[in-house]
Each structure stands twice: as C-alpha cells, then as structure tokens.
C-alpha cells in the first residue's frame, strides 16, 4: 500500500512553490535594476568600460545563488 499525498496537501505545496517564486522575483528585479543604475553611473563617472563586465559578473552571481 503506497501512501499518496492528499489533493489538498499537493495544492498547498504548489501554493508554497508559487509564493517562493513570487518572493524571488520581487527581490531579484529591484536588485538588478539598482545594480544596473549603480554600474551605469560608475561607468559614466570613471569612463572605464571594464566596470560593465563587473556588473554582468555580479549579476550572474546573484542570479546563481537565488
């Protein structure tokens, strides 16, 4: 006899996953916008295009650990 999860339990799991996804998106979008604005400002002030590469690296690290 295998134990099957009840439909209400499965629905709660889907709701938990959806909430987690929404929280991640609410975090990652403002952080990416803020980082982009900071690095655009730094590149404009220092005229060093290598800072844009640093932005992409930092953004990739943030997305990786999400």
Give me the mean pLDDT over the 15-42 stretch.
84
Q: How far apart are CA 66 and CA 44, in angstroms?
A: 29
Q: In this predicted model, what pLDDT tens digit does every residue of 29-58 receive, in sequence order?
A: 888 888 888 888 888 888 887 877 888 888
Q: What's the pLDDT at 5?
A: 67
Q: Does the pLDDT value for residue 8 go beyond 70?
A: yes
Q: How far apart are CA 61 and CA 18, in angstroms?
A: 23
Q: Does the pLDDT value for residue 16 go beyond 70?
A: yes
What 3-state class would DSSP assign to 5?
Answer: coil
Q: Where are the alpha helices (DSSP H) in the chain?
A: 7-46, 50-64
């Amino acid at each position: 006899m295998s134990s099957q999860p009840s439909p209400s339990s499965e629905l709660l799991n889907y709701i938990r996953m959806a909430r987690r996804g929404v929280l991640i998106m609410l975090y990652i979008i403002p952080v990416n916008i803020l980082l982009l604005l900071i690095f655009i400002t730094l590149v404009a002030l220092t005229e060093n295009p290598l800072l844009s590469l640093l932005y992409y690296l930092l953004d990739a690290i943030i997305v990786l650990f999400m």
